Structure 1
Amino acid sequence: MGGQAFASLHTPRMRSAVYDHVLKQTLHALREHYALVESPIEAPGKTTHGDVDVLVTGALEMDFDPEKRPWNEVANRLGEVLGAVSSIRHNGMPVVNLAVPWPQNTPPSMEHSPESEEPEEVKYVQIDIHHLHSLERFQWELFHSAHGDLWNILGSTIRRFGLTVNDRGLYLRIPDIELLDRKKSMVFLTEKPSEVLNFIGLDEKTWWKPFSSQSEMFNYAAGCRLFWVRGKDAEEEYDIVGDLPVEGQEGGDAGKKKLKHNDRQRMLKRPIFNDWMTVFIPECREEFITPAMMSQLPWNIVKLILTTRHQGLYTEQKTTRDEIRDEAFKQFNVQREYEEKLASWKLLRHKDEIWREVIKGSIPLEDVDPQFRAASIRTIKAVIMEGQEFQGTVPDAAKQDEHGFYDVAAVKAFVEANWEEAGRVGMERQLAKSRLAMEEKQAKKKRKAEEAVVEVGGGLKVAGD
């Protein structure tokens, strides 16, 4: 939440000394009640903090276990342990935001946040506690949340090769599906951090240590075996709806125009990701930033450029999207799932084409009564896609191959030759259905009238008389 969950309480950003003090106390208090309690590694160079994020799992007592107690009760107990004055819970999520008093009796360097504020104003620290239901989920969340913007950086690198990392794990995307339905295109690979880092070519030991600087983190990210940059800006300008082809990252203005909308938003909101796109990647490319260009940049960016010269590096593409897919098949044993998912999607799209384009699209719109046309469409759909007979037989056009696909040309020819007869059949069925409904309505009315006649004292009397 970045320390902004409590609108009515003053939760200013904390200097690192205050943050470290609160984090240490929080971890110590929570380790009395959970087997595992950790905070994700912070981004490099961070001097102020909006809140304190803590992950917990393995409750040591029933009162702290969301599996055995309602989350609101667990959240209340957590608030009591940490001395919270207010809390915010999130529906359906084992997360609680707690506002605790600003630490007292601390050195002067810890007493003031960098924001201007009234000295007498009461201050609080926001602590966000995330409960994970298993060791695997705990380890993944600790991994995925580490180093601030690092996964934004790596995500923009591996995405071009058909890989996606989210809060659940690493996924392989199916190209044929992703532009139309990104969620359905994803095939789960792993939630083990070591397997992810090994697959994308990054050192695991380095990952679990804080980076001393932004430059060090950028160099580490550039060591990903999927990272490479283009040597020259593309002349065309376009905005991608799906993902970019595997043609190397550009950075700068040209690269920004080709970013997904989400990445462009990250550049506006995430300074480190913005530096990666606008400084590090262009600086890796063959045409280095000129002195004139540097004169327009802030000094901290210029300093970064002067201390990390990488022009001409990372310009070689080491692998392709198809090769990464095949490697994923072998390492994670997902080829069968991938192919079955793709086949199912293609069949679904094929049947949708048969219905929308071949059946509906082959019946005229002009000079045809809308009700007659609708009846014709219903009849032909029932024959082709639901196996009903037409004129006493199942036509060849309704037959499917061993994979469930129709002969598109045969279906189209059948529709064009028989839509009028199908319309007449459909209208007759509709009339018969209407007559049957009317008869059932009249029979129901008659039954109700008969039920209203009751036997009273050995005779018949209409109820209510």
Structure 2
Amino acid sequence: MGGQAFASHASPLPTPRMPPAVYDHVLKQTLHALREHYAQVESPIEAPGKTTHGDVDVLVTGALEKDFDPEERPWIEVADKLGEVLGAVSVIRNHGQSVVNLAVPWPKIVLPSMEHSPESAEPEEVKYVQIDIHYIHSPERFQWELFHSAHGDLWNILGSTIRRFGLTVNDRGLYLRIPDIELLDRKKSMIFLTEKPSEVLNFIGIDEKRWWKPFSSQSEMFNYAAGCKLFWVREKDAEEEEYDVVGDLPAEGQEGGEVGKKKLKHNDRQRMAKRPIFNDWITVFIPKCREEGLYTEQKPTQNEIRDEAFKQFGVQKEYEEKLASWKLLRHKDEILREVIKGSIPIEDVDQQFRAASIRTIKAVVLEGQEFQGVIPEAVKQDARGFYDVAAVKAFVQANWEEAGRVGLERLLVKSRLAMQEKEAKRKREVVER
């Protein structure tokens, strides 16, 4: 939470940003204390070049005692135990989440800037350090969280690169997106590929060994990210070229600068405003690469990356079935909205009669009910479940009035039965008295 959890707490506490010496001291003590109670305890690798830290983030899993295990004890109780172990003066228990924010006293250590301070210096204000402990429920998820949280904005950078090729990484794993579905529903378009960091890095062409070490500078991290096999930069005159929008084209290269910024997704533009490192990637690093003609080799197409994912992760059947199911669902929605409802007049028609007609024809076309004793040939589906749109439309236009009459008769019968049941119920209640 960036060290701000206690600023708006019921009893606010000052948790200012920490210099590296304070951060390192608190992190070392926290890791040591928690390793007495959990099998795995780690802190994500920090972003390069940080001169201050807002809080201390620690991931834990594999409780060694019941009192520290959310699987055995309510999270509120576990959070309190963690507060005791770390000497917290205040605890924020996040209900519904296995995360606890702790405020611990600012450590009494001598910083380099204080070594020559006069003894008569005024006493320091009382302040605290915020420690956020995240309990992860499995070793696999622990490894993923540690991986996904590493190096600060690095996944924002890589995410903007691989997104152009139909790939997404989130807090659950690596996904392949189905373009046809993504246009209308991003979440439903996603096919899970893997939550194994080594498989993700291998697939996007990033060196795994280097991943697990801190970067000494922002420049070093940028060049590492540019080594991704999907990263390439458009040459300076490339934007003047005209491309046919049909066919299996290369995914568009990075542009950066003001032109590239305008083409970013809304979320990425927001990140630029809030994340200085990501902003430098877009506005400084990529334009510099374009100026120097670096990373200009065009990469595989989105379809080629899709096929590579099929081969490596075995998701082709799931992809094709999901796409086919989506197309059929959209087709049936089109049949209802445009063919059935769109073919029945609105003007000069009683709305109750029209509604009855729509219900009847929907039941015949989409639910397989008989009409006048048979299933009409015009509404039968092919082997894939699709309809002959022209035939269905002709059927609706020829039969909507009869369908309306049938629908009203059914409604009348249903109403009579309901009234009879109501009367029968009233009589039973009288007898029971």
Both proteins in one fold, TM over 0.5: yes
In structure 2, the partner of 1:442 is 423
Structure 1 residue 65: Cα displacement? 1.1
Residue 206 of structure 2: which of 183, 202, 205 is its match?
202
Structure 1 residue 400: Cα displacement? 1.4
In the alignment, the residues of structure 1 paired with residue 22 and residue 124 of structure 2 have an alpha-carbon distance, to the nearest angstrom, of 18
In structure 1, the partner of 2:339 is 358
User: Which structure has the bigger radius of gyration?
Assistant: 1
Asked if 1:269 is matched to 2:250, the reply is: no
What amino acid sits opposite 2:101 in the alignment?
Answer: N
Q: Secondary structure at the match of 1:58?
A: strand
In the alignment, the residues of structure 1 paired with residue 281 and residue 220 of structure 2 have an alpha-carbon distance, to the nearest angstrom, of 12
Q: Is the 8 A contact 2:22 2:109 kept in 1?
A: no
What amino acid sits opposite 2:259 in the alignment?
Answer: A
Q: In structure 2, do the counterparts of structure 1 residues 228 and 105 end up closer, same or farther at CA, with 3 Å as the change threshold? A: closer
Q: CA RMSD in A?
A: 1.7
What amino acid sits opposite 1:252 in the alignment?
Answer: G
Q: In structure 2, do the counterparts of structure 1 residues 336 and 438 end up closer, same or farther at CA, with 3 Å as the change threshold? A: same
Q: Secondary structure at the match of 1:188?
A: strand
Structure 1 residue 440: Cα displacement? 2.1
Q: Secondary structure at the match of 1:197?
A: helix
In the alignment, the residues of structure 2 paired with residue 382 and residue 147 of structure 1 have an alpha-carbon distance, to the nearest angstrom, of 56
Runs of 4+ aligned structure 1 residues displaced above 6 Å come to none
Asked if 1:149 is matched to 2:130, the reply is: no
In structure 2, the partner of 1:313 is 294
Residue 121 of structure 1: which of 122, 125, 137 is its match?
125
In the alignment, the residues of structure 2 paired with residue 379 and residue 127 of structure 1 have an alpha-carbon distance, to the nearest angstrom, of 62
Q: Secondary structure at the match of 2:161?
A: helix
Q: Is the 8 A contact 2:254 2:286 kept in 1?
A: yes
Residue 289 of structure 2: which of 273, 284, 298 is its match?
284
Alignment of 1:149-168 (within 5 A): 149-168=153-172
In structure 2, the partner of 1:298 is none
Asked if 1:332 is matched to 2:310, the reply is: no
In structure 2, the partner of 1:38 is 42
Q: Is the 8 A contact 1:40 1:145 kept in 2?
A: yes
What amino acid sits opposite 2:269 in the alignment?
Answer: R
In structure 1, the partner of 2:138 is 134
In the alignment, the residues of structure 2 paired with residue 169 and residue 312 of structure 1 have an alpha-carbon distance, to the nearest angstrom, of 33
Structure 1 residue 353: Cα displacement? 1.0
Residue 175 of structure 2: which of 171, 176, 183 is its match?
171
In structure 2, the partner of 1:65 is 69
Q: Is the 8 A contact 2:250 2:299 kept in 1?
A: no
Q: Is the 8 A contact 1:160 1:245 kept in 2?
A: no
In the alignment, the residues of structure 2 paired with residue 313 and residue 448 of structure 1 have an alpha-carbon distance, to the nearest angstrom, of 86
In the alignment, the residues of structure 2 paired with residue 127 and residue 13 of structure 1 have an alpha-carbon distance, to the nearest angstrom, of 12
In structure 1, the partner of 2:397 is 416
Structure 1 residue 235: Cα displacement? 6.7
In structure 2, the partner of 1:97 is 101
Aligned-pair identity in percent equals 85
Q: Secondary structure at the match of 1:13?
A: coil
After superposition, the C-alpha distances for 1:15-47 in whole angstroms (9 at most, x for unaligned) are 001100100000010011111111111101011
In structure 1, the partner of 2:261 is 256
Alignment of 1:174-253 (within 5 A): 174-232=178-236, 234=239, 246-253=251-258
Q: Is the 8 A contact 2:21 2:111 kept in 1?
A: no
Q: Secondary structure at the match of 1:93?
A: coil
In structure 2, the partner of 1:239 is none
Structure 1 residue 75: Cα displacement? 0.9
Q: Secondary structure at the match of 1:210?
A: coil
Q: Secondary structure at the match of 1:11?
A: coil
Extract unaligned runs of 5+ from structure 2. 116-121, 242-248
In the alignment, the residues of structure 1 paired with residue 133 and residue 110 of structure 2 have an alpha-carbon distance, to the nearest angstrom, of 24
Q: Is the 8 A contact 2:251 2:300 kept in 1?
A: no
In structure 2, the partner of 1:403 is 384
Structure 1 residue 234: Cα displacement? 3.7
What amino acid sits opposite 2:368 in the alignment?
Answer: G
Q: In structure 2, do the counterparts of structure 1 residues 245 and 375 end up closer, same or farther at CA, with 3 Å as the change threshold? A: farther
In structure 2, the partner of 1:293 is none
After superposition, the C-alpha distances for 1:1-25 in whole angstroms (9 at most, x for unaligned) are 0000002010000000110010000
In structure 2, the partner of 1:47 is 51
In the alignment, the residues of structure 2 paired with residue 70 and residue 92 of structure 1 have an alpha-carbon distance, to the nearest angstrom, of 11
Structure 1 residue 166: Cα displacement? 0.4
Structure 1 residue 424: Cα displacement? 0.8
Asked if 1:88 is matched to 2:69, the reply is: no
Q: Is the 8 A contact 2:250 2:301 kept in 1?
A: no
Structure 1 residue 105: Cα displacement? 3.9
Alignment of 1:373-388 (within 5 A): 373-388=354-369
Structure 1 residue 419: Cα displacement? 0.3
In structure 2, the partner of 1:303 is none
Count of aligned positions: 415
Structure 1 residue 438: Cα displacement? 1.9
